Amino acid sequence: MSAYISRLSILIVLMGMTLKSNAQKFLIPKDVVVQYAGSIGYLSAGAGYELFGNKRGNLDIIYGFVPESKGGALHIFTAKFAYRPFVIRIGDWAKIYPVNPGLFIRYTLNNNLGFNFDTVQYPKGYYYFSEAARPHLSISNEFQLIKGKVLDRTGLKAISLYSEFNTNDYYLVNYFQNTSALSVTDIFKLGIGIRVKL
């Protein structure tokens, strides 16, 4: 696994060296994100990037950790995309984004989890999904503070508090196959986070 990570690191560095200055500006994060729970780790943190001219899209690259005492130890890497189609302005000091659809893919780095199930133990195709990689659908909301004494003193552009409900392909399939035994609340997970705009 360490050889794989080393090769991946070298590839990323080489790709970074070939980027032009405009592309390099994109690599500088606009946000710092910290999240509790929500299918991407017991606690997670990462960098956020603004997308589109209206800055309503977000791409977050996040590392999460689940300690051994909570079911780990697990290291989780996530790439999240969300779009904020609606905004409610509160004067000139805050915004509310009430419904933000999104999707993300999560990869759990663990020696016991692979992209496919062991074909010695299970027939090929018995499980359609990956052990380690999991696609998710999400819906979130966000309260963003854009002006105030605290922000003015720190030089930050905004601070947001958000909540996010998500589910994955595995939960959805199980729900539709077992509607009598599972409820919608069984297949959705909640995460709560803070986004700081730099």
Question: 161-190: per-residue pLDDT in tens?
Answer: 999 999 999 899 999 999 999 998 999 999
Residues 58, 81 contacting (CB under 8 angstroms): yes
pLDDT of 152 > 90? The answer is: no
The domain ranges of the chain are 28-197
Contacts of 76 (CB under 8 A, 6+ apart): 40, 41, 44, 63, 64, 65, 66, 106, 107, 108, 109
Q: What is the mean pLDDT of the chain?
A: 86
Over residues 139-151, mean pLDDT = 89
The pLDDT value recorded for residue 111 is 72
Q: Is residue 144 within a helix (H) or strand (E), and if so which, with residue range?
A: strand 133-145
**What is the value of pTM for the model shown?**
0.82
* CATH architecture for residues 28-197: Beta Barrel (2.40)
- Percent of the chain's residues with pLDDT above 70: 79
Question: 38-78: per-residue pLDDT in tens?
Answer: 999 999 999 999 998 888 999 999 999 999 999 889 999 99
pLDDT of 122 > 80? The answer is: no
